[in-house]
Amino acid sequence: MSQPPRTVAVVGLGPRGLAVLERLSANHPAGCPLSVHVVDPYPPGPGRVWRTRQSPHLLMNTVTSQVSQFTDDSVACAGPVRTGPSLYEWLRRSAPGTGTAADAGAGPKAGLGAGTPLATGPEGDGGERLGPDDYPSRAQYGRYLEWVFGRLVAEAPAGFEVIAHRATAVALTEDTGGQTLALDDGTRITGLDAVVLTLGHGPAAPSAEERRLAAYAETHGLRYHPPANPADLEAGLTAVASGERVALRGLGLAFFDVMALLTEGRGGKYVPSPSLDGGLQYLPSGDEPVLYAGSRRGVPYHSRGENQKGASGRHEPLFLTLEAVARIRAAPGATFGRDVWPLLEAEVATVYHRALVAQWADEPTAARFLTEYLAAPAGGRTAVLRRFGVRAQDEWKWSRVERPWGRREFDDPARFARWLVEHLHEDVRHARGGNVGDPLKAALDVLRDLRNEVRLAVDHSGVTGSSYRDEIVRWFTPLNAFLSIGPPPSRVEEMAALVDCGLLTVVGPGARVREDPGGQGFLFGSDAVPGSEVRVDALIEARIPEPDLRRSTNPLIARLLADGQCRPYRIADPGPEGAYESGGMEVTPRPYRLVDAAGVPHPRRFAFGVPTENVHWATAAGIRPGVGSVILEDADAVARAVLGR
């Protein structure tokens, strides 16, 4: 029996929008004509962040085998499973003249590109040489996403039409004829039965400090770059002259991106160091600026341990189990610090101690240790540690990773630089030991492995508002980023080489910026390192803007908020304030219907991903095969709700 035609819009066509499009195709009922308008000013698939025209020096921080865009048997979805190649499988088969999608891992259930030629990247892209545990460039991932979109369109079922709009959505209205989406090129998409917002990281209105620094720079002929996606910074960085003194505020992933653009991106090269076993030496091109960097912690994110878990291996929870999560969510007034953190802390410490015993003894001994350790009451675990040779000074201590310099004091920048280079080399040594074999990296990888359990515990008001604000937003989220989502170890090796050659100076912990009263530049330094303050001509905020509905300059989000068609999510709290207002876009529980200013969910508007951060935790994580990707499960639920299934 035929059904009336439907028209749907998906706004934002990066990985999440692409997942929704694929799930709409997979769940598309026969005999129901469906037109899907996909709206993004950047190419559909890669979108803005993963666009293919960006520097090859900008890397992902996930290995090729752990990146996918396809459902598999681990994904708990009501819709059909349609398998396809991971990024590694696609790259391996995408060398010119080789491979089909079937070769690349699209199994018999795929129905997407099976037996058809794979698209290839440009000659010299090098993707086919990457192994399963290598880190691809963002542009290589973008080409994979481009291929997925192309195959979706080419393999679309009968009655399924995709119309791509290279434009920005600016307004969304509704009347008796359905919803209307207005685009900045003048197009009006009318009669929409449903609209799905899958927007990624976008620009935000500057903070008071950012406005002040920008005004100072403009007044005195200096350069100030506010928080932005590093790919968006590329063009602006060409104005930075060789030898110019530049400050980078932030030592996270964006710092490593900017560092690469201003060094290797300027023609410099890394070669094996003649004086370091396994280290690197940087050979400048002469076009580089002189870099100064710093952050509150004063040290960069920990590098990722080399992958020893394959594509889908992960630490299975021992304490933060689904049963424990259910108890937390059933408890009134649950907090992260009291109810979630002790379980997560126990997971990390247990993995660390087990890996330590395995390193000192062997796997059978480590397995025996784990059995006894888990069987012991909480107060008896120290005795188990001692029985297996773990001394008090060997035990897991958070302070060692949170504050790696400990109680050291630095009399001058040279002393801090010597310690920092040692710290960077030590971090790389741990990383080379792997995310299973090295106790430190195995422990830190637990935080990444258990992100979904943390989400299940805290999403949608799982903890009180004050707990979410103080214990998650202000403490755990930055700590988790610092410890578990860092760069490849090669990036940390490169950083050490730049410090060694004098092109990069890290000013120290507690980095601060102030304006020179005489207008001669920004003053950048650390109170923890005497003599570290330097005058620079350019200040780059080496971080991306935090997602916040209230500060978003995305025209559609800003219009929805101004018109009362969406609102910031408030997390109830028993304290005097009654609630914590986050910057997340409020949505219902899955399938994530958009909630308006009056608290009414819209039956035919949906949103998930980055704009809902704080309703959901850690929304920027990607799709990984074999581990029950939350993104794919969400996308399937949204698609089925759109289709009324």
* 476 and 576 both lie in a single domain: no
Helix axes 413-432, 439-449, angle to 10 degrees: 80
Whether residue 495 lies inside any domain: the answer is: no
* 473 and 554 both lie in a single domain: no
In sequence order, what E strands does 276-379 have? 280-283, 290-294
Backbone phi and psi for residue 30, each to the nearest 5 degrees, phi listed first: -60, 140
* 357 and 477 both lie in a single domain: yes
Structure tokens at 345: 């802390």
In this structure, what DSSP letter does residue 605 have? E
Whether residue 504 lies inside any domain: the answer is: no
* 341 and 439 both lie in a single domain: yes
CA distance 9 to 155: 19
**What confidence tens digit (pLDDT) does each residue in 238-248 have?**
999 999 999 99
For the chain, how many structural domains are there in total?
A: 2
Close Cβ partners of 212 (under 8 Å, ≥ 6 residues apart): 515
Close Cβ partners of 186 (under 8 Å, ≥ 6 residues apart): none
* 454 and 577 both lie in a single domain: no
Average pLDDT, integer, range 212-222:
98
Whether residue 260 lies inside any domain: the answer is: no
Cβ atoms of residues 191 and 177 within 8 Å:
yes
- Domain end residue (candidates: 451, 484, 517): 484
Cβ atoms of residues 55 and 187 within 8 Å:
no
- Residue 613, CA distances (Å) to 437, 456, 468, 472, 618 in order: 33, 14, 12, 12, 7
CA distance 6 to 293: 53
Neighbours of 286 (CB within 10 A): 9
* 431 and 559 both lie in a single domain: no
Rg (CA), the chain: 25
Give the per-residue SS3 of 227-249.
CCCHHHHHHHHCCCCCCCEEEEE
Whether residue 528 lies inside any domain: the answer is: no
Identify the pLDDT of residue 613. 98
- Domain end residue (candidates: 433, 462, 484): 484
Q: Does the pTM exceed 0.75? A: yes
* 584 and 469 both lie in a single domain: no
CATH code of the domain covering residue 107: 3.50.50.60
Average pLDDT, integer, range 119-147:
83
CA distance 131 to 203: 34
Q: What residue type is assigned to position 402 of the chain?
A: E
* 38 and 184 both lie in a single domain: yes
**What confidence tens digit (pLDDT) does each residue in 63-107 have?**
999 999 999 999 999 999 999 999 999 999 875 554 443 344 433
Considering Cα of 638, then 642, then 643, then 645, what sign does the dihedral take? positive
* 329 and 403 both lie in a single domain: yes
Question: Which among 299, 286, 643, 642 is positioned nearest to 495, based on CA atoms?
Answer: 299
In this structure, what DSSP letter does residue 497 have? H
Identify the pLDDT of residue 137. 97
- Domain end residue (candidates: 469, 484, 499): 484
- Residue 614, CA distances (Å) to 56, 323, 327, 477, 608 in order: 32, 23, 21, 11, 11
pLDDT for residue 299 is more than 90: yes
Looking at every residue in the chain, the average pLDDT score rounds to: 94
Whether residue 278 lies inside any domain: the answer is: no
* 29 and 123 both lie in a single domain: yes
Whether residue 381 lies inside any domain: the answer is: yes
For 18, the domain range is 6-203+550-642
pLDDT for residue 122 is more than 50: no
* 17 and 159 both lie in a single domain: yes
Whether residue 315 lies inside any domain: the answer is: no
* 561 and 479 both lie in a single domain: no
Cis, peptide link before residue 591, omega less than 30° from 0? yes
